[in-house]
């Protein structure tokens, strides 16, 4: 698919600097740009590549001041990163033409699919499932009994959506996700063994949720595990039974959240964060990577370390952590001097 600079500027409400008729047919990183490619510049660390790139079109900040001549046509916008994301979304929409039902699928006779829906090869859809318009079920997907999927949602290759799971509109479930599997519940017995506690609840996912590849969300013991509107989950995340995640919270890869913890709205949780069970995490909380949260957290706290504590205190304390061997050495020397007297 080809775009001219004029078309791109029209989509982004941008201003052209250079040839409005130059065409692009592919995307590239700015340091790898070639003729016919489109790229963007949003991080000042990459400024030097602007003068070296062979990309035909570069999306750039409207106030960026050139230090020397360039060969690329510029499209100037208020926010290059946001503009490039908008363009990618448009591009994906144009590229996503999948419609119809493959002949190599297993769909229960009770399932009604709108003609706008797509089901790819070797997918399985069990009875009493319900789909909105423009739902895309890609190859080798399993959809269990009684699942509901809202309009415009996309379930990518190899995902497993288990019984009675509810997924809202315009969600994206990436490859390998397992949603609605049994939670980790075992009751200790007098003889030292463990008895399985049945997990009879569901998973309820809101609208505009994105769940990364190979992430898992367990169904509730009772009630629902809830992922609210606008939540964005990275790859390889574990959400345990009865967890609730507030709207527009973002969680990075390899984070694990234990059962029955409630996370507030608009939180930013870094990679490899561990969160204990039965906690309440406030709105607007920010947890740096590899933080271990073992207590309730108030609104807008910024955390780091294990057990987690205030980020600024952690940064100050880290200076002493790093110098601790030298501090011990000096204390031992002082002790010798005092005892010697």
pTM, entire model: 0.78
What class is the 101-314 domain?
mainly beta
Check residue 301 and report its DSSP letter. -
- DSSP code for 311: H
Q: What is the number of alpha carbons within 13 Å of residue 178 lying toward its C-beta?
A: 11
Could you say which of 3.40.50.2300, 3.40.50.720, 3.40.50.1580, 3.40.1390.10 is the CATH number of the domain covering 3-95?
Answer: 3.40.1390.10
Specify the pairing of strand 154-155 against strand 186-188: unpaired
Sign of CA dihedral 117, 122, 123, 127: positive
Do residues 260 and 239 lie in contact, with contact meaning Cβ atoms separated by under 8 Å? Answer: no
- The conformation of residue 68, written as its DSSP 8-state character, comes to S
CB 26 within 8 A of CB 47: no
Boundaries of every domain in the chain: 3-95, 101-314
Side-chain-side CA neighbours of residue 81 (13 Å): 3
| CA 227/CA 206 separation, integer angstroms | 6
Find the catalytic residue in 138, 174, 236, 241.
241
- Across 256-295, b (16+ Cβ under 10 Å) vs e yields ebbbbbbbbbbbebbbebbbeeebebbbbbbbbeebbbee
Q: 147 preceded by cis ω (within 30°)?
A: no
pLDDT at res. 191: 95
Q: Please report the pLDDT score of residue 277 as a whole number.
A: 96
- Rg of the chain (C-alpha set): 26
Is 241 among the catalytic positions? yes
The pLDDT assigned to 80 comes to: 94
Q: What tens-digit pLDDT sequence spans the chain (341 residues)? A: 788 999 999 989 999 999 999 999 999 999 999 999 999 999 999 999 999 999 999 999 999 999 999 999 999 999 999 998 888 877 776 655 677 899 999 999 999 899 999 999 999 999 999 999 999 999 999 999 999 999 999 999 999 999 999 999 999 999 999 999 998 889 999 999 999 999 999 999 999 999 999 999 999 999 999 999 999 999 999 999 999 999 999 999 999 999 999 999 999 999 999 999 999 999 999 999 999 999 999 999 999 988 776 777 777 777 777 777 888 888 888 888 888 75
Residue 313 in contact with residue 333, Cβ under 8 Å?
no
Phi, then psi, of 98 in degrees rounded to 5: -65, 125
């Amino acid at each position: 698919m080809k775009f001219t600079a004029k078309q791109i500027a029209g989509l982004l409400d941008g201003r052209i600097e250079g040839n409005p008729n130059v065409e692009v047919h592919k995307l590239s990183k700015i340091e790898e740009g070639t003729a016919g490619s489109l790229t963007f510049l949003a991080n000042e660390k990459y400024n030097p590549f602007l003068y070296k790139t062979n990309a035909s079109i570069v999306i750039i900040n409207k106030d960026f001041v050139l230090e020397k001549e360039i060969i690329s046509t510029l499209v100037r916008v208020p926010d290059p990163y946001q503009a490039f994301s908008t363009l990618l979304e448009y591009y994906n929409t144009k590229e996503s033409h999948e419609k119809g039902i493959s002949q190599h699928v297993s769909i229960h006779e009770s399932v009604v699919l709108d003609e706008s829906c797509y089901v790819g090869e070797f997918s399985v859809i069990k009875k009493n499932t319900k789909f909105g318009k423009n739902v895309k079920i890609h190859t080798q997907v399993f959809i269990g009994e009684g699942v509901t999927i809202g309009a415009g949602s996309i379930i990518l290759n190899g995902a497993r959506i288990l019984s009675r799971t509810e997924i809202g509109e315009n969600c994206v479930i990436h490859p390998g996700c397992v949603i609605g599997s049994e939670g980790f519940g075992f009751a200790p017995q007098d003889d030292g063994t463990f008895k399985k506690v049945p997990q009879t609840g569901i998973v309820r996912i809101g609208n505009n949720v994105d769940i990364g590849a190979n992430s898992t969300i367990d169904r509730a013991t009772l009630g629902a595990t809830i992922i609210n509107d606008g939540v964005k989950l990275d790859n390889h995340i574990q959400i345990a039974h009865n967890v609730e995640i507030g709207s527009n919270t973002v969680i990075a890869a390899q984070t694990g959240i234990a059962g029955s913890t409630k996370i507030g709205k608009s939180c930013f949780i870094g990679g490899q964060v561990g969160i204990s069970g039965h906690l309440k995490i406030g709105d607007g909380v920010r947890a740096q990577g590899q933080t271990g949260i073992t207590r309730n957290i108030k609104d807008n706290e910024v955390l780091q370390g294990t057990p987690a504590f205030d980020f600024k205190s952690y940064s100050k304390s880290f200076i002493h952590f790093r110098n601790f061997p030298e501090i011990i050495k000096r204390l031992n020397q002082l002790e010798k001097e005092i005892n010697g007297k």
